[in-house]
Amino acid sequence: MSRTALLTDHQWARIESLMPSSDGSAGRPFRDHRSILEGIIYRFRAGIPWRDLPENFGPWQTVWKRHRRFSCDGTWDKIHSRLLAEADAVGMIDW
C-alpha cells in the first residue's frame, strides 16, 4: 500500500456494499464514502489529530462525523466481520 493510494479498487469493492446508504435521508447527500474512508485510514496511519487531516479528504469535521457514525451504526463491525470471514475462508487465520 503506497502513501497516496490508501485503498485499491479491489479493497474498496470488497467493502463498498457495506457502506450505509443516504437514499431517502433528509438533508445534504453524503460525501463520497471512499474518500471519507481513506481520510479515516490516513488519520490513523499518520497518527495525527483530526484537525490536521489534509483537505483533499474533505473537511475534517465531515470525516470525523462519518467515523463516529460508522462506529455507532455498526458499519465498522460489518466490515470487520466480512474481512475476517474472507480471511478465514482462504486459511489466512489460524484460530
For residue 36, CA distances in Å to 16, 28, 91, 93, 95 come to: 12, 15, 31, 29, 32
Residues 38-75 have pLDDT tens digits of 999 999 999 999 999 999 999 999 999 999 999 999 99
Tell me what pLDDT residue 4 has: 56
| 63: nearest Cα among 78, 77, 46, 80 | 46
Overall residue count recorded for the chain in this entry: 95
Domain ranges of the chain: 32-95
